[in-house]
Amino acid sequence: SRHIVKQLDLVLQDNNLKEAEIADICIRALLMRCSDFFEQPVKALFEPLYRDLMVITEYLWNDRHHINTFMRRLFRKNHLARHSINSLIAGLWLWLQNSGEYRRKDLDRMALALLLHDVGMCKVPPFLLSKPGPLKQEERDKIILHPIVGVKLMQKMDVAFEELLRACFEHHERLDGSGYPQRTKGNQSTKPGRLCAVADSFAAMICERPFRKGKEIMQAVKELASDARYDQEMTNSLLTGFAAGTIGQMVDMDQVVDAPQPE
């Protein structure tokens, strides 16, 4: 598996791999690529990340139900790369449930938008993200700027298609106007932005933070479904998926990727 992680397109060629093994390998590969890219967000590190993500969308294009296997594999430790992968998985699961007919191009763009929606956070000083107590106003101001920073990063890299820009810019907007940076209300934000808001919040809620423990998954989805600041069709779909057992038994991906690898 360590070899395939570095040459991910092999998962599409190896008929001996089980569905769960493919999901584990894909997530390992994304974690490696995302960690590298967020540490140094440049075009040279974006390109291998993009190639690996296109392998995953090819796998999902062949059978959209494969997303359920990914959805059972979420991280519970907070880290920008792990948060981004959780957001990708949850967001794509929601998108595939509610998108109707779609083109391969639509799937590719939505996947990249969800994965890189929080890219602006890589420019926030690390000590702010690990601070256990409340932030000062000037510290909070630096974090609030990250949607705009993310948009500028993607534009600088000439990766500026609409879904990605909306996901970067709108994932902290809320339907009642209480979000940021524009304080849009209702349908003033786009569907990709509203979808990303749900995926981003869900991913954040289930992970440990310096100032709180992660919520249990059912607690998180119930809270989202009862929160009118989010798109109710999307949050209800997420709740139904977990409550009805559609997604199945969860796997803690932190234990999988952090386990010592055999020599």
Which DSSP letter does residue 119 get? G
Neighbours of 186 (CB within 10 A): 11
Closest alpha carbon to 167 in 234, 117, 120: 117
The rounded distance, in Å, linking the Cα atoms of 81 and 93 is 18
Question: Any idea which residue has 């990303």 for tokens?
Answer: 196
Between the alpha carbon of residue 55 and those of residues 33, 104, 171, 178, 181, the distances in Å are 13, 12, 25, 37, 33
pLDDT at 191 over 80: yes
Phi, psi of 251, deg, nearest 5: -120, 130
For tokens 């994965």, what's the residue?
A: 115
* Percent of the chain whose pLDDT exceeds 90: 78
pLDDT of res. 263: 54
Retrieve residue 140's tokens. 């909070």
Q: Which residue is it, tokens 């639509």? A: 106
Model pLDDT for residues 91-141, shown as the tens digit of each residue: 999 999 988 889 999 999 999 999 999 999 999 988 787 777 777 888 888
> What CA–CA distances, in Å, run from 198 to 43, 105, 168, 239?
28, 22, 13, 12
pLDDT at 262 over 80: no
Task: Share the mean pLDDT of the chain.
Answer: 93
Distance CA(256)–CA(202), nearest Å, equals 21
Asked if residue 245 lies in contact with residue 72, where contact means CB atoms within 8 angstroms, the answer is no
Pick the range with the lowest mean pLDDT from 26-35, 73-82, 245-254: 245-254
pLDDT tens string 6-45: 899 999 999 999 999 999 999 999 999 999 999 999 999 9
* Contact in structure between 238 and 90 (CB atoms under 8 Å): yes
Which helix or strand (DSSP H or E) is residue 252 part of?
strand 251-252
Residue 209, helix vs strand vs coil: strand
The span from the CA of 35 to the CA of 21, in Å, is 21
